[in-house]
C-alpha cells in the first residue's frame, strides 16, 4: 500500500485504505499472515483517464465473508433504526452532507483523477449530492411522505362492523446500491439512491464502482463518520470494494443475499438486466430498480427549425457534449424534417464538432463500448458521418486504446434517412458518449412514425413554434407513452431535483416505469404499505396514532388533513 510520501504530502489518496468498509469500519488486519493474504487477494487499481496512468493504491475486492458480514450488519441495523424517530434520520442525512463538504477539495481532486470529469462539473455534482441528502433529511423530518391513511371504525355497521384500518409506507429493509460510473458523487456512494433509502429507514450496502474506488471510499468514510456522530449502528452504511477478479461475483452475492431487501442500480443495460434477473431468481424475489440506457430523442419541427436554428444548435450541442456525452439524459437521436433548414441546423451542430478537441472519457471500458457501438451505427447501410471524428479520440480506425495513454474521444454527428433508421434496430439503441444521429424525415407522417418507433427513454424533447402546434400535439401524444419526461423547447440534460421531476421511464430506460430516481418520490422505491387493523394505539407507529403526534398529512376517512383523528377538519 502506498504511503502519503509516495503521493506527495497532503494528497488525499494517502488517506485511502483500498479496503471495504464493513459495518462502519475497515476490518483491522489481524496479523502478518493476513497482510500477506491481502496482498495476493483479487484487487484492482484505478486509472486516471486524463493521463492513462495507473493510480498507486491497490484496492482489494471484498471477500464473500465480507459481503455476508456487511449484509448481516445492515439487517441488524435495520431493526435498530426502525425504533428511532424520523428526526434522527434527518440529522444523519444532514450530517452526511456536512461530512462530505468537510472533505473539501481533496474529494474533487480525487474524483477528477479517477473519472476525468472537470472540477467545475464535479463541484456542481457535489452540490447536487449534498442538496439531495438534505432534501431527503427534511423529507424524513416532515414525515408526510409515508402516505398515511386512516379509516376509522364503525362498530354498528350492518351486516358486519367496519374495522379501524390504518396504513403507511414502511421501509423494506437493507438496500443495495450499485453506484454509477458517470456520477461518482450524485448517483454513487452517498447519492440519490443512498439518501432516499436512508431517509426511508433502510440501511445501505454500497457496491462500489470500479472506476472511482478512492472517491467511493472517501465518501463512504465521511458517511460512516456521520453515522457514528449521530449514534446510528455501524451497519447503517457499508462500502464494498469491487473491481478485480471478484467484481461480478460481488454484485451477484449482494443481490442474492437474504438480508438485502431491495436494490438500486444505475449503469449499463447489460449489467442492469443481468442483476435484475439475479434478483428475480432468488427464492424470495426482491424489488430491483435499474436505470439503464436511454436515447433521449429530440424532435425539431419545421417552424422551430426555421425560426430558432441557432439557439437549437447551440443548446443541443451543449447538451450532447456536456460531460463529454456521458450523461444518462444525453440526446442521442435528432429527428427533423428534411430540407434546407435541416441542413442549416446540422451544419451549425457540425461546425463546432469539427473543431472540438478530444476530451477524456470515464474509463477505457466506456471508451471501448463507445467505439464499438459507433462502429455498428456507422456500419449500417445508409448512415453517413456528417461531422466530428468517427474514430473516437481522433485515432485511426480500428486502433484500440493503449495502456498508459489518455482515454479520449470527440463528438460525432451521424445522419441517416428515416427509412434507414427504421430498418436498422441497432440505430435505436443508446451509444453512450457524445454521438448524435440525425434522422431526416420526409413529411409529418414520418416524424409521427418515428415517435412510435422509439424504445423506452428517460426523456423526449420537442422543439416547436406556434405553427407546429398540431403536429407537436400528435407527437406529444405518442412520445409521452415512451418517456418519463417530455421537454418542450429545451434540452434533456440538467435534471432538476424537485417533486415534479420524473427520472425514469419505460423499458429499457428502466425496468420499473412506476418509479423515479430523482426527487422526493424516489423514497417510495424502498418502501411498501403496511396496514394495521384494529391495532391498539401502543402498537401503531407514531405516524398512525390518533393524536397525530408528528403532525403529518394523512388521508383520514377520505380527506387529507393534519388534524388528530376524531376532530372535525379545520375550516
Q: Catalytic amino acids?
A: 291, 328
Question: Please, which of residues 138-167 interact with a second copy by CB under 8 A?
Answer: 149-151, 159-160, 162-163, 165-167
Strand-pair partners of 240: 207
How far apart (Å, rounded) are the C-alpha atoms in residues 203 and 467?
A: 53
What's the closest the beta carbon of residue 468 comes to a second copy, in angstroms? 11
State which of residues 18, 24, 86, 173 lies at the interface with a second copy (CB under 8 A).
173
Q: How far is the CB of 13 from a second copy (least distance, A)?
A: 30
- Which residue number, 116 or 506, has a Cβ lying nearer to a second copy? 506
Residue 160: all three cell numbers together: 358486519
Give Cβ neighbours of residue 29 (< 8 Å, ≥ 6 apart).
Answer: 35, 38
Q: Which 8-state DSSP code applies to residue 376?
A: H
Query: What is the widest separation between alpha-carbon atoms in the chain?
Result: 83
Query: Cβ of residue 483: shortest distance to a second copy, in angstroms?
Result: 8
Tell me the DSSP string of 512-536. Answer: -TT--SSSGGGGGGGEEEEEEES--
Pairing, β 554-556 against β 148-151? parallel
Shortest spacing between CB 6 and a second copy, in angstroms: 38
Binding to a second copy, residues 45-104 (CB under 8 A): 79, 82
Question: Distances from the Cα of 132 to the Cαs of 33, 194, 285, 409, 522, in angstroms?
Answer: 43, 10, 29, 31, 11
Query: Which one, of 396, 251, 408, 261, lies nearest residue 326 by Cα?
Result: 408
Residues 307-366 binding a second copy (CB under 8 A) are none
Nearer to a second copy, 311 or 477 (CB): 477
How is the chain split among helix, strand and coil, in percent rounded to 5? 45, 20, 40
CB-nearer residue toward a second copy: 13 or 550: 550
Q: What residues from 455 to 474 belong to the interface with a second copy (CB under 8 A)?
A: 455-456, 469, 472-473
User: Nearest approach, Cβ of 142 to a second copy (angstroms)?
Assistant: 9
Q: Give the residue, chosen from 28, 155, 156, 284, that forms a contact with a second copy under the rule CB under 8 A.
A: 284
**Closest distance of CB 36 from a second copy, Å:** 40
Please say whether the beta carbons of 467 and 440 come within 8 A. Answer: no
Q: Contact with a second copy (CB under 8 A): which of 355, 394, 402, 528?
A: 528
Shortest distance, CB of residue 557 to a second copy, whole angstroms?
Answer: 8
Q: What is the DSSP letter of 117?
A: -
Q: Does 431 bind a second copy (CB under 8 A)?
A: no
Long-range contact set of residues 423-429: C-beta below 8 Å, sequence gap at least 24: 423/382, 424/380, 424/381, 424/382, 424/383, 426/376, 426/377, 426/380, 427/377, 427/380, 427/383, 428/295, 428/453, 428/454, 428/455, 429/293, 429/295, 429/373, 429/455
Q: Which is nearer to a second copy, 60 or 139 (CB)?
A: 139
**Segment 550 to 569, residues that bind a second copy, using CB under 8 A:** 553, 555, 558, 560
Task: Judge contact between 381 and 341, C-beta under 8 A.
Answer: no
**From the CB of 291, what's the least distance to a second copy, in Å?**
14
Q: Within positions 105 to 124, which residues make up the interface with a second copy, using CB under 8 A?
A: 124
Minimum CB distance to a second copy smaller for 171 or for 181: 171
466-525 residues in contact with a second copy (CB under 8 A) are 469, 472-473, 476-477, 480-481, 483-490, 494, 496, 498-502, 504, 506-508, 511-514, 516, 521, 524-525
Q: Which of 15, 48, 419, 532 binds a second copy (CB under 8 A)?
A: 532
Taking the least distance from each CB to a second copy, the nearer of 119 and 494 is 494
Q: Which is nearer to a second copy, 442 or 496 (CB)?
A: 496
User: Binding-site residue total for a second copy (CB under 8 A)?
Assistant: 74
Name which position in 539, 542, 547, 569 contacts a second copy (CB under 8 A).
Answer: 539
Cβ contacts of residue 142 below 8 Å, gap of 6+?
552
DSSP string across 3-34: -HHHH-TT-GGGG---S-BBTTBPPPP-SHHH
Amino acid at each position: 500500500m502506498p504511503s502519503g510520501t509516495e503521493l506527495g504530502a497532503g494528497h488525499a489518496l494517502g488517506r485511502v485504505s483500498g479496503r471495504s468498509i464493513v459495518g462502519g469500519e475497515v476490518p483491522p488486519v489481524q496479523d502478518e499472515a493476513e497482510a500477506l493474504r491481502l496482498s495476493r487477494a483479487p484487487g484492482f487499481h484505478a486509472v486516471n483517464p486524463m493521463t492513462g496512468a495507473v493510480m498507486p493504491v491497490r484496492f482489494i475486492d471484498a471477500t464473500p465473508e465480507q459481503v455476508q458480514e456487511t449484509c448481516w450488519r445492515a439487517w441488524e441495523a435495520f431493526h435498530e433504526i426502525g425504533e428511532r424517530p424520523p428526526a434522527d434520520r434527518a440529522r444523519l442525512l444532514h450530517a452526511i452532507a456536512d461530512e462530505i463538504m468537510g472533505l473539501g477539495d481533496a474529494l474533487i481532486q480525487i474524483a477528477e483523477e479517477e473519472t476525468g470529469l472537470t472540477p467545475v462539473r464535479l463541484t456542481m455534482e457535489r452540490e447536487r449530492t449534498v442538496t439531495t441528502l438534505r432534501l431527503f433529511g427534511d423529507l424524513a423530518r416532515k414525515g408526510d411522505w409515508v402516505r398515511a391513511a386512516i379509516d376509522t371504525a364503525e362498530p354498528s355497521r350492518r351486516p358486519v362492523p367496519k374495522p379501524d384500518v390504518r396504513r403507511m409506507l414502511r421501509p423494506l429493509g437493507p438496500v443495495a446500491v450499485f453506484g454509477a460510473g458517470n456520477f461518482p458523487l450524485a448517483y454513487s456512494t452517498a447519492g440519490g439512491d443512498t439518501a432516499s433509502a436512508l431517509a426511508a429507514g433502510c440501511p445501505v450496502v454500497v457496491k462500489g464502482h470500479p472506476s472511482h474506488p478512492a472517491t467511493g471510499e472517501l465518501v463512504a468514510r465521511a458517511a460512516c463518520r456521520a453515522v457514528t456522530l449521530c449514534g446510528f449502528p455501524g451497519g447503517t452504511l457499508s462500502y464494498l470494494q469491487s473491481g478485480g477478479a471478484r467484481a461480478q461475483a460481488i454484485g451477484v452475492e449482494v443481490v442474492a443475499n437474504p438480508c438485502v431487501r431491495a436494490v438500486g442500480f444505475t449503469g449499463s443495460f447489460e449489467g442492469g438486466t443481468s442483476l435484475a434477473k439475479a434478483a428475480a431468481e432468488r427464492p424470495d424475489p426482491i424489488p430491483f430498480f435499474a436505470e439503464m440506457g436511454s436515447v433521449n430523442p429530440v424532435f425539431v419541427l419545421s417552424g422551430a427549425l426555421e425560426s430558432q436554428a441557432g439557439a437549437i444548435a447551440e443548446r443541443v450541442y451543449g447538451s450532447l457534449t456536456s460531460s463529454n456525452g456521458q450523461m444518462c439524459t444525453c440526446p442521442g437521436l435528432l429527428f427533423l424534417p428534411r430540407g434546407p433548414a435541416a441542413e442549416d441546423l446540422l451544419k451549425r451542430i457540425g461546425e463546432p464538432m469539427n473543431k472540438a478537441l478530444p476530451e477524456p472519457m470515464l474509463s477505457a471500458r466506456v471508451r471501448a463500448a463507445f467505439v464499438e457501438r459507433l462502429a455498428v451505427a456507422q456500419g449500417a447501410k445508409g448512415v453517413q458521418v456528417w461531422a466530428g471524428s468517427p474514430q473516437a479520440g481522433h485515432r485511426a480506425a480500428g486502433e484500440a486504446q493503449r495502456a498508459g495513454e489518455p482515454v479520449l474521444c470527440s463528438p460525432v454527428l451521424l445522419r441517416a434517412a428515416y427509412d434507414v433508421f427504421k430498418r436498422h434496430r441497432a440505430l435505436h439503441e443508446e451509444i453512450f458518449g457524445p454521438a448524435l444521429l440525425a434522422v431526416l424525415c420526409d413529411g409529418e407522417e414520418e416524424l409521427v412514425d418515428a415517435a412510435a418507433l422509439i424504445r423506452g427513454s428517460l426523456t423526449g424533447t420537442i422543439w416547436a413554434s406556434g405553427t407546429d402546434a398540431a403536429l407537436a400535439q400528435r407527437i406529444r401524444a405518442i412520445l409521452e407513452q415512451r418517456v418519463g419526461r417530455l421537454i418542450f423547447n429545451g434540452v434533456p440534460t440538467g435534471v432538476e431535483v424537485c417533486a415534479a421531476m420524473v427520472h425514469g421511464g419505460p423499458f429499457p430506460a428502466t425496468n420499473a416505469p412506476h418509479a423515479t430516481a430523482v426527487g422526493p418520490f424516489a423514497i417510495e422505491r424502498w418502501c411498501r404499505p403496511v396496514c394495521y387493523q384494529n391495532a391498539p394505539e401502543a402498537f401503531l407507529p407514531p405516524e398512525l396514532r390518533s393524536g397525530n403526534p408528528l403532525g403529518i398529512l394523512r388521508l383520514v376517512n377520505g380527506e387529507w388533513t393534519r388534524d388528530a383523528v376524531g376532530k372535525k377538519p379545520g375550516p
